[in-house]
Amino acid sequence: MTTPPAPGVGPVTGPDGLTRCPWAAHDPLLLAYHDTEWGLPLTSERAMFERIALEGFQAGLSWRTVLAKRPALREAFDGFAPDTVAHYTDTRLEHLARNPHIIRNHAKIRSARTNARAVIRLREDGGIEHLIAAHHPPPAPAPRTAADIPTATDASRALATALRAHGFTYTGPTGMFALMEATGMTDTHLADCHRRGTHTPTRPTEPTTTNQHRRPRSSEPTR
């Protein structure tokens, strides 16, 4: 991962007057993601599969990198439709590994197919959404700084174990905690962040500074 915010880093007030988590305060791409997506529930199998796949692609990288490549990844993986990805041939996987616009890691690309097949099998047991929802963590105190946010929890470890039992790969405890953050299962917006406790997007803004490419430890793991 890229260097996380230093311990004790608190929220940052931007030129628009809104206070945000420090990882989203300066980079326009991260700011828009923070204000319009991060922490909002996902309501479909496809969306949850995409989230699992993107968390897998992030392993060892920054979320900024994945987010910048997300449009290309969506195009390359047919919108992350599980039934389509599950039927990719080895030849298709090799073709994807030569695509210069995506993250060309053979193991991660193969994992997307593996996980698509696992998502399909889970339909007989209520679906991936049901499995993830069953590991919803209890409420936690609002963090005041980045140092207050864990990188994994008992709930994310239990979810990771359950997913592995169903054949998923690249779904470790840290990545699954990041998924819980991103999908609103646990709210790790800092206490003074304007997004804390909200479940609707904020109107996108246009900040003036663009040189910060960071995300919190708990959301930008190496795994």
Catalytic residues: 33, 55, 63
Give the separation between CA 70 and CA 90, rounded to whole angstroms: 22
CA nearest neighbour of 140 among 87, 71, 176, 191: 191
Q: Is the Cβ–Cβ distance between 45 and 221 less than 8 Å?
A: no
Cβ neighbours around 208 below 10 Å, total: 9
Q: How many residues does the chain have?
A: 223
CA nearest neighbour of 98 among 83, 109, 111: 109
- What residues contact 139, with CB distance under 8 A and at least 6 apart? none
Cβ neighbours around 141 below 10 Å, total: 7
**Across-strand partners of 20?**
12
